[in-house]
Amino acid sequence: MTCSEHFDAKAREWDEHPGKRNVAQVFVCELQMHVSLNPAMELLEFGCGTGLVSMELHGQVAAITLLDTSAGMIEVLQEKIAQHGIDNMQPRLGGLSAIDQVEERFDLIYSNMALHHVARQNRP
């Protein structure tokens, strides 16, 4: 089973886990203590999962692009966005290569509990 398949299978019950919600809330609090968010900012969350972090931030900024390699996580996130009528969050399936580095710019890029899933490249 690939990493994406693992997260696809867990996506529906992800938000029900108190530990995952708690870690996301601590991350949000730390981010807000150290970064002055403003309504003109455009953010990128890498490894967004079901959007537990960005759901707490979207009302403070202009836009959030959310990336995840799990189709199941993106599907749950899209449902949450629709359910809450949020219009400034844009989920995308894929990794960092899904970002057009020439056309897209972000004021802040953040990731919570995702980088340890990124395969390390062998370097010469």
CATH code for position 42: 3.40.50.150
Is 99 inside a domain boundary?
A: yes
Report the predicted TM-score, pTM, of the whole model to 2 decimal places: 0.84
Return the residue matching tokens 């299978």. 9
Give the residues across from 66 on adjacent strands.
45, 91
The beta strand positions in 9-75, using DSSP E, are 42-46, 63-68
Q: What value does the mean pLDDT take over residues 78-85?
A: 97
98 pLDDT more than 50: yes
3-state helix, strand, coil in the chain (%, to 5): 45, 15, 40
Q: What is the pLDDT of residue 45?
A: 95
Which of 9-13, 68-72, 89-93, 96-100 has the largest mean confidence? Answer: 89-93
Residue owning tokens 């490894």 = 47
Q: Which domain holds residue 69?
A: 3-117
Looking at residue 12, its pLDDT comes to 79
pLDDT confidence of residue 115: 42
Residues 34-72 have pLDDT tens digits of 999 999 999 999 999 999 999 999 999 999 999 999 899
Outline where DSSP puts E strands in 8-62: 42-46
Tell me whether residue 40 is in a domain. Answer: yes
How many folded domains does the chain comprise?
A: 1
Mean pLDDT over the full length of the chain: 86
